A and B are shown apart, each in its own frame.
Chain A
Amino acid sequence: MANTLKSSFVTGWLLDPFQPTEQHARGPFRPVLNKLLWIVPLMVGIAGLAVALVGLSVDREQFFFSYLVGWTTCLTIALGALFFVLIQHLTKARWSVVVRRIAESLTWSFPLLALLSLPIFFGMHDLYHWAHHDVMDPSSPHFDPVLKGKESYLNVPFFIVRAVIYLGGWTLLSFLLYRTSLRQDVDADPSIPARQRKISAIGLAFTAVSTAFASYDFVMSTDPHWFSTIFGVYFFAASFWTAHAVIALAAVLLQKSNGLNGVVTEEHYHDLGKLMFGFTVFWTYIAFSQYMLIWYGNLPEETLWYRERLEHGWQTHSAILLLFHFVVPFWVLLARTVKRNGTLLAGVAIWFVLMDWFDMHWLIMPTHSPEAGISWITLAAGIGLLGIFFSAFMYRLNRHSLVPQNDPNIAKSIVFAT
């Protein structure tokens, strides 16, 4: 029977677990098949990673911190997209059906991210102070009683187990949602939306908790003395914020390549823009909540983290973050014209990805280097990882219909108006 979804050969799973179904796509939903969209980022990505690898031999510790910044940036985009898909299913959203495939395609980045996370485990000794044996050893001069107290959570085997659970869980969820959605493209089984909702209900609960814990493990524990319970929400805010930007950017790129004609309209850009605006404020709200409580509490073990970010040049980074992660995007996206114009919104979206990377750099790097600055290794690793991430995403996106074409709400989504 022709109307079935076929698995890819096992080696292809990293990129896309299913064989192309683009021959089933109808009219404007057909992929644009513009090879430049994935070849250019791939070339840039490989070049970036090659330069970063040179950095590994120059400054090993710097390399691992740089790599972690790039990797978490990619992780925020994929996680934000996963949240997007889960929420659209759970709310039976109509407006977003035409951009949902873009987000679904982004979520299948998790296997690639799992593979790319390997260097982090090899660099644990450099990245995570708690992974040193001597800080846990009472007879050692480097013994650290605070870290000893956290040993039952912060230890290497448990860290690896948790990482496998996060990345495995996200991959499984993405697989279930991606498979049901692609199957719907070739075979409009009416039971599919209900199944997607069921997966999403469990999936949202899992993703919410695992995102928070993943942010504690990968990011917050680079400074293992410091703790903030709102950190997981901060990480979620950054993720969701960037994901909307990447979805808008991908939609514009596809339209510039003559895809999705008359499918994604200024009404959809307007809504994506409103969400980008809304989560700009949400991110700031969370970031400020964390800062204000620590300012007010004035406890040394908490304020130290901000002190590191307010001296030796890091205060400039903090100011840039406030200004260009909040103030400027706020005023730019306040205007209706920007939200309704795809090209302008794509410009803002690129800015958002850059600022998300800058945010991750601000979270992670001050622990490594007390003096502010952006190392060439960080730039190379960021360009490399984002390039490969984006290339795989674009390649996958153009193997299937650009929208879930048999979704019962597809017609309503196309004519949707705010």
Chain B
Amino acid sequence: MLNDLREYIGASMSIYSPREDGLYGMLAEFRNPGELVHAAEAVHKAGYRRFDTHSPFPIHGMDKAMGLGNSLVGAWSLGGGLTGLAAGYLLQWWTGAVDYPMDISGKPAFAVEPSVPVMFELTILFAALGAVIGMFAMNGLPRPYNPLFNSERFASVTDDGFFLHVAASDKNFDVASTDELLRKIGALSVEKLYDLDDTAE
């Protein structure tokens, strides 16, 4: 149960568990960004959900091609913003009216008017922090080790390589049929990737 949850969350960050025999997935290389987008569309259409694409630069329209929904970072940001708004209000009220009330030219100990700038600034600060924290919480970065690094071809991903990786943990994954699909949609090469625990030796 707990393991399933961990696997599910990991998969949402593209951290997949290898199969029993250590097979992590299939890695296919494509010629250019356009082909990679079409490949992602085809793989998504074929029913695969646990796959990811890698390219040297962001590709416009890739989210849609991969069938990814709207990012949830916005919700994190909104939550952060509302927290900041409430925190600013409480800070102003507690310090002004409860903990250390002072009479300054007859003004009320707490009023919304002069508190708005504080509430506003904390809203912005917490919204930004919420966005950054949410981004890191959901994208699985930093990730110093990735089984994809076991592929020699994959090194060109920071230069001129466009890759698509289908995880072995996908429910539709099958060595033969996945290989066939990737080749059919124009992969330059398809290789099997293993995630072997070599520290055990």
Contacts and interface: CB of A to CB of B under 8 A. Distances in A.
Is A bound to B? yes
Interface of A: 288, 291-292, 295-296, 298, 336, 417
B116 A292 contact: yes
B94 to A, nearest CB: 21
Interface in B88-117: 105, 107, 113-114, 116-117
A288 B117 CA distance: 10
14 contacts: A288-B116, A291-B113, A292-B113, A292-B114, A292-B116, A292-B117, A295-B113, A295-B114, A296-B113, A296-B114, A298-B105, A298-B107, A336-B70, A417-B60
A212 B169 CA distance: 64
Interface in B40-81: 60, 70
Interface residues of B, number: 8
Contacts of A291: 113
A292 B105 CA distance: 16
Contacts of B113: 291-292, 295-296
A292 B117 CA distance: 9
Contacts of A417: 60
**Most chain A Cβ neighbours within 10 Å, of B105, B113, B114, B116:** B113
A296 B107 CA distance: 9
Nearest to B70: A336
Contacts of B117: 292
Contacts of A298: 105, 107
Interface string B117-132: 1000000000000000
Contacts of B107: 298
The 6 closest A-B pairs by CB, nearest first: A295-B113, A292-B113, A288-B116, A296-B114, A292-B116, A417-B60
A331 to B, nearest CB: 10
A417 B58 CA distance: 14
A213 to B, nearest CB: 29
Nearest to A292: B113
A417 B105 CA distance: 54
A18 to B, nearest CB: 40
Contacts of B114: 292, 295-296
A417 B114 CA distance: 41
Contacts of B116: 288, 292
**Most chain B Cβ neighbours within 10 Å, of A291, A295, A336:** A295
Contacts of B70: 336
A135 B105 CA distance: 35
Contacts of A296: 113-114
B142 to A, nearest CB: 29
B154 to A, nearest CB: 30
A296 B113 CA distance: 8
Contacts of B105: 298
A291 B113 CA distance: 8
A341 B199 CA distance: 55
Contacts of A336: 70
**Most chain B Cβ neighbours within 10 Å, of A291, A296, A336:** A296
A336 B75 CA distance: 13
A283 to B, nearest CB: 15
Interface in B157-197: none
A288 B116 CA distance: 9
B118 to A, nearest CB: 12
B79 to A, nearest CB: 13
A288 B112 CA distance: 12
Contacts of A295: 113-114
A266 to B, nearest CB: 13
Given A292-B116, A292-B117, 10 more contacts: A288-B116, A292-B113, A292-B114, A295-B113, A295-B114, A296-B113, A296-B114, A298-B105, A298-B107, A417-B60
A227 B70 CA distance: 47
A336 B73 CA distance: 14
B73 to A, nearest CB: 13
Contacts of A292: 113-114, 116-117
Nearest to A285: B120
Nearest to A334: B78
Contacts of A288: 116
A336 B74 CA distance: 11
A295 B117 CA distance: 13
A288 B113 CA distance: 9
B175 to A, nearest CB: 38
